[in-house]
Amino acid sequence: MEITPSTLPPPPKKHEGILNFGHAQQPQGPDLGNVTDDINTLSRRLRLIEEGFTNLRRFLQITEENIIAKNRHYSAEIKTLTSDVNEIRKEIQELRDKLLLIIKELQNVARKEEVKVLEKYINLWNPIRFVTQNEVEQIISEILEKKQQ
């Protein structure tokens, strides 16, 4: 295997400890600029998330209010429809009762054949030619008068 600069491992890093032989070390603090930027970025993100949650809460509250209003409206409509259906049921029952009464009455009415039989008897007897009791008495009295004369 051939050794080339690209295959060599990187040189070891300088040890940056407290003791640095030959060099005076200055204490280095954390980079506050980057930390402040990170905190500001996180703060902005947190505010955006909080705004999103606030908007979602408002949306949810409005949705719940709309659902409650619709529920009340539909409940009132269902009550109205139920009362209408009950009223229609009562009317249908009344119509059934009246129809049964009409059917019973029609069963007691004379039929066409029965009326024709009566018509034949009436024509046969010819009641127009019948006389009343007064007429008979008058005829008898006339006949008796004629005989007496």
Amino acid 42: pLDDT: 95
SS3 15: coil
Asked if the model's pLDDT at residue 2 lies above 70, the reply is no
d(CA 61, CA 55): 10
Q: pLDDT digits over 102-125, tens only? A: 999 998 888 889 999 988 888 888
Amino acid 149: pLDDT: 80
Phi-psi domain of 26 (left: phi exceeds 0; alpha: psi -120 through 50; beta: other)? beta
Q: Where are the domains of the chain?
A: 33-132
Asked if the model's pLDDT at residue 10 lies above 70, the reply is no
Q: Which residues contact 110 (CB under 8 A, 6 or more apart)?
A: 118
pLDDT above 70 covers a percentage of the chain that reads 79
Instruction: Compare 75 and 121 and report the one with higher pLDDT.
Output: 75
CB burial of 15-31 (b: ≥16 within 10 Å; e: otherwise) equals: eeeeeeeeeeeeeeeee
